[in-house]
Structure formats: structure tokens, C-alpha cells
Amino acid sequence: MFLEPGGAAADEDGVYIVYMGAPASSKGSLRDDHTQLLDSLLKRKKDALVHNYKKSFSGFAVLLSAEEANSIAESPGVVSVFPDPVLELHTTRSWDFLKYGTSVMMESNPSSDSNLTDHGSDVIIGIMDSGIWPESESFNDKEMGEIPKKWGGICAKGRDSSTFNCNRKIIGARSYGESLPRDVIGHGTHVASTAAGAEVHGASYYGLASGTARGGAPGSRLAIYDVFSSQNRGRGSTVLAAFDDAIADGVDVLSLSFGSSSILQQEFIKDPIAIGAFHAVQNNITVVCSAGNDGPNPGSVVNSAPWILTVAASTIDRGFESNVVLGNYEVIKGEGINFANIQASPVYPIMYAKSARKSGVAENATRNCRPDSMEQELIKGKIVVCDNEDSLFPYINKQNEVKKLGGIGVILIDDELREVEFNFGAFPTSVISSKDGAKPDIAAPGVNILAAWIGNDTAETPEGKEPPLYNLLSGTSMSSPHVSGIAATVKSRNPEWSPSAIRSAIMTTAAQINNNKAPIMTEKSTAATPYDFGAGEVSTTGPLQPGLVYETTTIDYLNFLCYHGYNTSTIKIMAYTIPHGFTCPKESSIDLISNINYPSISIPYFDEKAGRKVIRTLTNVAGDAKTVYNVSVDAPTGLYVQVVPDNLEFTKFGDKSSYQVSFSIGNPLKKDVFGSITWSNGKYKVRSPFAISSKNGGLAFE
């Protein structure tokens, strides 16, 4: 959860976001300083306004010079001014995998299946993405009741709006340009159906992954916010406009499957997603975001603010083989989806790209099949084996280069890519292993996910086939809506629960073993840690009855901002509701973030001599019967963990009880270490993972 404070300097002309914190009132009236500042600007630059944020928070996006931006940043009531950032998309069977991959004790009523079919139709999931294809059968509104009275949004106003129809499933849709919120990319449709698509039998991608497609909360409503263009990129100013609308419209859950690059992360008051999510959570909306696809390297998680439920991607038990048959009929297992028209017997010559190296070209370039690195006469008519080590040169470029030189197929060697079956189209391609030749909060299926698709996609349609109605995608984009669907289901069962209670229920009931009852592994076949999957693989049933939850309070979030160096006056501008007399603690530093009441414990900069103590508070949500929870600790050798008291008693619903955890070590840490603290009363298990990083160590998760 730790970001390097950065914030790009306002050093060029363009669109800037002026963030001014909370609105004047819950009714969305403009603050006086907001009105005065904007009026002053527009008198000088009549057409400069891009967006005006006035419903759920204060601010605007406007065309400015660098000098003007720096001047406005000094104005009273302004929290931050920053350039409008570019955000990128983080680009079914998965629900059955989740259902059978985890096991928890449940009441006889509700049944173990009820979370998938329970309709909770008053819950509204807001999807910020590339729009939606409303005609997909996944968005039919059969057997759905009337639209909830709390809904205050709109449906596709603009030109040709008669060609875009909402219903009792898609109850609202907004776009932020001249076009309708109709999806032309496919990503938004896929995400929306994964979160809340209706049950559709016989769905498949040209016969692959055949079965029943359904969302995590098939009875929930969908509100669509189209914030992306056809180029797969969106602007932070547009995303803030969507947050402003969605909060006022009345959504219960917001699902975002995009973000900035991990190398371009900004501090929280210059991050549009962190800003929008902060105000959404203050309005009791659960915000679920993908963790990004830049990993699995340390520090590669994005959307890591503590008020966001951040989701990593895991795999499911689905694979699409694209095997390589050698001349001796030995079979090397490969992965990938393609519709190649070639023989299945070994009649084509295979060569390693390195053997076709042009004179004067670096060997590494040839091994990776870079342009102008191979001799055409040697490649022609052959299947070419390419290393896939160069992240700056994607596999599609290697395909194109081999194809241009007359090759008839490509075999990519890549241990990590092999875990994700890409659609390689009609050109024969397979991925094999070299062996053959923090935050996040939670993990959910994100690889080979079948979900609804746009109905007019001819660009990637194999020759002679109709456009697919369903498609297979991979990435944390696909994992985030899984958790959004679960969050919506939990909300439908517990409408009074706060976003932090819902997050806690999801995190503390997660599994650390796969559906084969073995430990979850990384794509490199090493044991996964909380840096890889947070609390573990999300469960569909456990969050409905977690027993106890960790409530992260407004004070916790405000103190978090204090620990990150923001002063009391800035924080008071940001928060609409703030406890009377609130001030930042006298001693505020980033290493104190472990003090907030979060379902996990992250201790960076661990002082090996002094050790560390943290306090957590649990709330009973299991009923009014008296119950006692006992603690168990899983800690690595050399780390000493003491929990006081070692049992907690609850007598009624809503009871709270606190405990203290002391961490100490006998010898200096050589690497980051992990463990967990679990409270159990014999019926419920409430597990909190922890991560300890050395005083000079790297990032820790939260």
C-alpha cells in the first residue's frame, strides 16, 4: 500500500485537474471559493472548462498554462492541481471454480449456491469502463423487478440515443463525449457481464470454454459509465466526472478495471481514482479496483489506497492446449488459442531463431525475433522458435516478423506467458516453458475468463466465422469484477454494512489453497505470498457469514493521510464528514500506517531492536448469542508474535473487542516475512495475514 510520493510538476500547457475537496453540502451546491475561482478563470478563458465537479466533491478540469496551474495551486481551498493523466485498461466457468475451490461452514439457509442465484435486485453495481453492448443476452432483464426508487441516474442521453436502450438490468448509462455509451472495445461488456451478467446457457468462444456464463451477482442492476475511447485509454478528468455522477446517482458498488502504470503512480491527492474512491467510500459505496498487470514485481501494484479494495488476478482450472509435435512424435505441451489451418502431424521444419541471425546483429535481438534480425531465406517455410524475454517487443510483433519473412508458425518460450492463453488468431502459435525446451488485498480469477462480448467485432474474427458473442480475456481487469459481484451479493444480504465491513468479510474468509487443496503457487511455480495474492483467493460463500469484521473508520482513513504527510487543514478540506476536533497525531510518519484498523497487518521499516506493537478491533456480525473466539498464530521461524488477549468474548450483535499484537525477532531479517493471525470460535475463522519488511526493506502490502 506504499507509494513513492511523486506528483508530476505542472510544467506544460494542457488540461489540469483542480481538486478542491468535499462539496459545500450533500446536495451538491458549489462552494463559494469553487465558484469564484472558476468564474475568474472563465472570464479570461471562455471555452477552457472541460469538466465541473460539483455533486459529490469540488473541483474542475480546465485548460491552463503551466504558469496558471502553479498560480491556482496557491489559491485558498485548493487541495491539489495536477496534469490530466492517461489511464489504461488492465487488460462462466470461473464462478464454478470459486464455488468448489473453497470450503466454509455455512448455515443450511442460505444454501451454498444461493450467493450465485440470489437476486438482491436493489443493489446497483456501477461499471466504469468502455461502455456496454446492451443487446447481449447476458443483460436481459427477465424476472427482474422494478428499478430501485433510490436510482437517480440517466440512460444514454445524446445523439442517436434511440439506438441505445436501458432496461431493468442496465438501469443507467452515461458517456462523457459525443458518442453513446455503446462499447466498441469489448472490455466494458466483458467486465459488466462478469460482475452481474444474467445466466446464459450454452455460451462459448467458438466451442472453447463451453458452459453457462453468469455474473457474480446476476440479480444486481448495472449502471454504466463509459470513460474510455476506442484506443483503450481514458483520462483522469473523465474518470473523476464519472465518480461525481455515480456517487450522486446512487450506486452501491463501483468496479474499475484500469489505472495508471505502476511507474507513473502519483500521491493520493493527485490520483483521480484515489480521490474519487475516497469520496465514494465516504458515501458508503464500496470501490473495487484491479491491481494492474505490471507485476509480479515488487511495487507494481496500483490503486492501492486503503479505502479501495484492490484485486490481483489468479488462474482457474482452464487451459487451452496448442501442443508442439516433434519429428519423433514427442509432444511438448504448449498453450494458446489459435485457429490455424495446418496438419497435426510433424511435417514442418522447426528452427531456433538464433540460427537465422543476420551478420552484425546482436544474438539477443535474433533470439527474440526482433525486426531485421533474421535472414529471410533461412526462416521461409519454417516454424520459428523465439525467446520472449523482451517486454518492449510483444508477441504480436514476433508473429508479424516471422510471418513477413515467410515463416509458417511461431513457438514462444516464456514461462510466465504460458500461464495466460492468448488468442493468436489464424497464424500457428504456441507458448511453451523453458523447462520444455503488496497490496493487493485479495485475488480472484483473471485468466481465461469467458464473458459477454460486443456483437460487431469483426477485427479478430477468424476467417469464415461469425463475430463471437462471448470472448476469453485475461488480466486483473477480469478479476476485479469477480470481487465486485461478490461485494454486491454481500451488500444485498447486509444492506447496512459499510464498505470496510464488506472488504473485511471478503479478505478474512479468503483461501490460501487451490481447488486441489494444495498451496497457491505463482506463475513461476513458487509458493505465493501476500505480495502475490493479498489475503488469498476470494471465496463466494465465506463473505456472507464472516463472523467478525474489521471496521476501518473515518478516523483511520484521515490518520492514514496524516501518516503520509498531509496536514490537518488539507485533510479537513478533503473530507465532507470529519469528527469534531480532529487533528493529525503529533507524531505522524509513513511507518505508522500499520495502526489503522485494517483486515491485514503491514509493517514496513521494521525496527529490529524495538520491535512493533499494533492494535486491532473486531466487530461481531454473527448474531446475539454469546461466543468466544480463540487465537492461533502462523509465524515463520525467528519471528516472535504475541497476541494479547488470546481470546475474545462477544455477547451480542455489534459488540466490539480489541487485541494487541507484538512483533519481535531474535536475529536481523534477511528478507520480508509473512504469517497470519486467525480467530476462531469453532464455526467461523477470521484470518488476517501480516507482512513484515526490514527497516531498509521494500514495499509491504496492506
Distance CA(647)–CA(591), nearest Å, equals 28
**Which of 65, 83, 101 is where one domain is finished?**
83
Asked whether residue 19 falls in the same domain as residue 159, the answer is no
pLDDT tens-digit readout, 183-234: 998 889 989 999 999 988 877 665 655 677 888 899 999 999 999 976 657 8
With a cut of 70, say whether residue 697 has pLDDT above it. no
pLDDT at 455: 85
Asked whether residue 312 falls in the same domain as residue 328, the answer is no
Q: What is the domain count for the chain?
A: 4
The CATH number assigned to the domain holding 686 equals 2.60.40.2310
Asked whether residue 127 falls in the same domain as residue 263, the answer is yes
Q: What average pLDDT does this structure show over 433-437? A: 59
pLDDT tens-digit readout, 298-343: 444 677 889 999 887 554 443 444 555 554 555 555 555 555 555 5
pLDDT at 158: 60
Q: Does any domain span residue 644? A: yes
With a cut of 60, say whether residue 448 has pLDDT above it. no
pLDDT at 389: 83
Asked whether residue 287 falls in the same domain as residue 329, the answer is no
Asked whether residue 140 falls in the same domain as residue 34, the answer is no
Average pLDDT across the chain, whole number: 82
Q: Is 51 an active-site residue? A: no
Query: Which cell numbers in the block locate residue 702?
Result: 496492506
Asked whether residue 302 falls in the same domain as residue 408, the answer is no
Q: Does any domain span residue 305? A: yes
Task: Output phi, psi for 585, to 5 deg.
Answer: -55, 145
With a cut of 90, say whether residue 675 has pLDDT above it. yes
* C-alpha of 171 from chain center: 24
Residue of 187, 279, 482, 564 marked catalytic = 187
Distance CA(289)–CA(310), nearest Å, equals 5
Q: Which domain holds residue 26?
A: 14-83
Q: What average pLDDT does this structure show over 231-250? A: 92
Closest CA to 147 of 124, 161, 168, 163: 168
Instruction: For residue 532, name the pLDDT band (cuts at 50, 70, 90).
Output: confident
Asked if 482 and 543 count as a contact pair (C-beta separation under 8 A), the reply is: no
Asked whether residue 188 falls in the same domain as residue 252, the answer is yes
Closest CA to 293 of 204, 208, 394: 394
pLDDT tens-digit readout, 633-649: 999 999 999 999 999 99
Distance CA(259)–CA(276), nearest Å, equals 13
With a cut of 50, say whether residue 97 has pLDDT above it. no
Q: Collapse the DSSP code of 552 into the 3-class scheme (helix H, G, I; strand E, B; otherwise coil) and give the result.
A: coil
pLDDT at 117: 43
Name the least confident of 161-170, 282-291, 388-397: 388-397
Task: Output phi, psi for 52, to 5 deg.
Answer: -125, 120
Query: With pLDDT > 70 as the criterion, what percentage of the chain qualifies?
Result: 78
Are β-strands 286-290 and 253-256 bridged in parallel, bridged antiparallel, or unpaired? parallel
pLDDT tens-digit readout, 582-606: 999 988 888 888 999 999 999 988 8
With a cut of 50, say whether residue 245 has pLDDT above it. yes
Q: Is 607 an active-site residue? A: no
pLDDT tens-digit readout, 37-95: 999 999 988 889 999 999 999 999 999 999 999 999 999 999 999 999 999 887 634 44
More confident residue, 143 or 577: 143
More confident residue, 527 or 209: 527
Distance CA(18)–CA(16), nearest Å, equals 6
Q: Does any domain span residue 432? A: no
With a cut of 50, say whether residue 2 has pLDDT above it. no
Asked if 228 and 234 count as a contact pair (C-beta separation under 8 A), the reply is: yes
Q: Does any domain span residue 480? A: yes
Which 8-state DSSP code applies to residue 312? E
Instruction: For residue 115, name the pLDDT band (cuts at 50, 70, 90).
Output: very low
pLDDT at 316: 42
Asked whether residue 302 falls in the same domain as residue 352, the answer is no
Q: Does any domain span residue 446? A: no
Asked whether residue 173 falls in the same domain as residue 297, the answer is yes
Distance CA(19)–CA(79), nearest Å, equals 6
With a cut of 60, say whether residue 527 has pLDDT above it. yes
**Which of 373, 390, 413 is where one domain is finished?**
413
**Which of 376, 396, 413 is where one domain is finished?**
413
Instruction: For residue 119, name the pLDDT band (cuts at 50, 70, 90).
Output: very low
With a threshold of 0.75, does the pTM exceed it? Answer: yes
Q: What average pLDDT does this structure show over 116-132? A: 80
Asked whether residue 286 falls in the same domain as residue 375, the answer is no
pLDDT at 695: 58
pLDDT at 579: 87
Closest CA to 568 of 593, 586, 594: 586
With a cut of 90, say whether residue 353 has pLDDT above it. yes
Q: Does any domain span residue 583? A: no
Distance CA(614)–CA(612), nearest Å, equals 7
Q: Does any domain span residue 541? A: no
Closest CA to 409 of 487, 325, 329: 325
Asked whether residue 328 falls in the same domain as residue 308, the answer is no
Q: Is 129 an active-site residue? A: yes
Asked if 112 and 240 count as a contact pair (C-beta separation under 8 A), the reply is: no
Residue of 138, 477, 492, 602 marked catalytic = 477
The CATH number assigned to the domain holding 362 equals 3.50.30.30
The CATH number assigned to the domain holding 67 equals 3.30.70.80
Residue of 129, 271, 387, 556 marked catalytic = 129
Asked whether residue 33 falls in the same domain as residue 136, the answer is no
pLDDT at 109: 40
Q: Does any domain span residue 206? A: no
Asked if 511 and 689 count as a contact pair (C-beta separation under 8 A), the reply is: no
Q: Ranked by mean pLDDT, which of 258-262, 468-472, 534-538, 616-620 comes out on top?
A: 616-620
pLDDT tens-digit readout, 359-371: 999 999 999 999 9
